Structure 1
Amino acid sequence: MEHESNVKSRLVLRSAETIFSDIIQKGYFERYDTASLQHEFINFNNSFKIKNGRTPFIYELFHYFFRSLDPSLRQKVLELFYEKDYNWFITTGQYLLFNLHSWIKDLRKVDKFHNNSDKISQFLNVWGKNFHDIELKGIRETSSSEYPDKILLELTNNCNLDCIMCGVGKNPYDPKKNISLDLVKSLCNDVLKNVSNLRLNGLGESTILPNFLEYLELISELPLQLEIVTNLNVKHQLVWKKLVDANTNFLISCDSSKPRIYETIRRRSSFSVFKHNLKLLTDSISHPLQAQIIFTLMKININEIQGVMELALELGIGGVIINVIKSEVNNQKWIDNNFDLILQLFYKASNFAKTHGIKLKLPDHLGNF
C-alpha cells in the first residue's frame, strides 16, 4: 500500500478531467476511432461529479475502465499505469489506454470476454515490452539509405463521386489538388524506385486525372508492384486495360450489388458503368486475388454483405474486405445497437467465403470469426 501511495502521486492522483482536456487539446481525440472512449469518459466524468461533488482522479477512471478484468489482471494493468508519470501518459500511455479499452469493450460484446482475457494479458505483455524498449533505447533512427517496403500515394484529392460517408466529392474539381506530373517524375527517380509496393490511394479517385495514363506510364517503368484503390466509375476502357497490362492489383469500392442502394451511397455513380468495368477487369486479370472488393458497412447497407459476396463469386473476384464506418459518436451507437446482427452477418459471410474459396477480411476490432 505504501508503494501504491507513492506512485499514485506521480500520475494517477491527477484530475482525470484535466488530463483528458490536455489530450483533447493535443488533437488525439480528433482520430476517427476514439469516439467511443471519449463518449464513455464524458459520461463517467459527469456522473461522478453529480454523485461525489468533485471530478474523478485518473486512478478512479482507470478502475472504472478496467472493472471487467479479473482481479489479478486488473492489478497488473493498474500497476503498469501506477509506475508511470504524467509525461509518459500524454506521450505514450494514452495509446495503451485506448487499445486496452477497445479490446475489453469488443471482447465483452462477443460474449467471450472471460475466455479471451489471456489475449489481453498477452497483448499487454507485448505492448509493454515494446514501449519499455523504446523508453530505454529510444526510437531507432532510419538512415537515409533505407526505404519503406510500401508507399501510399494520393495523386489527387478530387473525386468523381459524392459518397454519403465522405465529404471530398461535394467539392468542385480543383486542379490544384492534383500532384503534378513533374513531382511524380521526381519521386520515380528517387524514393519510388527503391520500394517494392506502391498503392495509389487516398480520398480522391486517381483515374479521373485527365492525363492519368502519363502518370501510369512513369510508374509502370519501375520494378514494383502497383496497387490501386478505385471506385471503378470512369468510362475510359483504355485506363483499365493499361492498369491490367501493368499487372496492377485492384481494390474496388462496392457497398451493394443492387443498383439503387449502390447509387444512393455513391452519389453521381453509375452501377451499370461500375459493373461493366468490373467485368472488364475480371475477364482480364491473371489471378482472382488481383481484384478485391472493399465493402464499407453502414446503416443503409447492413443487409447487402451477402449480395456483394455473391457478386464476388459470380465474377471470380478473389477477396472481399469489409470495413465498418467509424466517424462519430452517434454512428458508434448504431454499431453498438446492431452488434449482434452485424456478428450474424459476418459469420454468414465468413462461412460463405470458406465454402467458395473467397478471401474475406473482417474488422479485427469486432472479434474473431
Structure 2
Amino acid sequence: MIDVTQSPALEIAIEGSLSRIRERAAELGPAFGALGEAIAGAARGGKRFRPALVAASFDAFDAPDRHAAAVLSVATAFELLHAAFVVHDDVIDHDLVRRGVPNVAGRFRLRGRQLGADADGAAQLGDAAAILAGDLLLHEAVRLVAMADVDADVRERLLTLLDDAVFVSAAGELADVENSVAPDCAPVEQVFDAAFNKTAVYSFRAPLQAGAVLGGASPEAIVLLGHAGGRLGLAFQLVDDLIGAFGSPEQAGRESGGDLREAKRTPLVALARESADATRLDATLALARTGPVAVRDARRALDASGARGRLRDMITDTLSEVRATSRGDDLTPAAGELLREIADGIEGRIP
C-alpha cells in the first residue's frame, strides 16, 4: 500500500512509549508489571501502516522543521490507538490468541490458573487485564498527542482528530456487535456504516489529516485528505471482507474462509442477502462452520448471488473517486501521489 519500512527513529519512539508503560507498571507490583510486559507484547509487530500514513502525509507538505519531533509522537499515538482497539476487540470477541501466541487475556488466564484460580476466576482475570491494557494504551495515545511539542492551536486540532477517531470507532464496534447478535441481518446501509466507522476514521482519515496538520497543509487540503482518507478506509475494509471469505491463507493471515466459518455478517453477506433466494443462502452460510467443503459451498453461493462482483465494483468505484480527489488543486503533487499510491496498494489486495 505504501512503504511501511519504518525509520529507526519511529521504532525508537514506539519502543520508548512501551518502555514507559512497562517501567510505570513495574513500580506498582508484580501483577501490574506483568501487565506492562503483556501490553508491550501486544503493541509489537504488525504492519505499522497507520504511523507510516502520519509520516508520509507530513512529508507530503511543506513540513515545518519544528514539528519533526512531534510527528514521531503523533505517529506513535496512532499505532498505540490501534493496539488498544485490537486488545479490546479480542475481549469483545472472546479471543485468547493473537498472531499465534496468547494475547493479553490469554496470558492472564494462564497466570490465573498458575495462581490456583478456577476456570471462571482465570477468565475474569484475563478479561480484566485485557480491558485495563486497552485503557492504558488509549491513555498513552492521548498523552503522546497532548504532550507533543507543538503550538496550542495545532495540539487542539490534533486532539480533535484523535477524539473523533475514538468516538467513531467505538460507535462502529458497538454497531458491529449489535448487528452480529440480532436475529435478523441488518439492512445493507447499516452494515456498511458499521464497517466504515469501525476502521476508516482511525486507520486512514485521522492519520492522514494529522500528518497534514503537522506538515502545515492548508485547511482545504486537510478537508480533501479527510474525504479521500474515509473512502480509502472503506475500500480497505471491503477488501478485507473479500479476503475473509475468498482470500488465501497468506492474504488472510489465518485459515482460508475464516469469516465464513465465524458466520460474520459483513457487507459482502449483506449484499448477498439481497438476492432472490436469501433463505437458501442463509442455510448454506450457516453450514460453513462445519468444514472446508461447506466453505467452498458458501463461496459458490456468494458468487452466484452476485455479491462478490458487486463488492468488487464498489471498491473499484471508491478508489476511482480517491484518484480523482488526489488531483485537486489544493493538494501538493506529493500528497496527490500518496493518495494514488495507497489506492493502488488497496486495489492490489483484492482477491
Scaled to the shorter chain, the TM-score interval is: under 0.3
Which structure shows the bigger proportion of residues in helix conformation? 2
TM-score when scaled to structure 1?
Answer: 0.24
The structure, 1 or 2, with the larger RCO (C-alpha pairs under 8 Å, 6+ apart) is 2
TM-score when scaled to structure 2?
Answer: 0.25
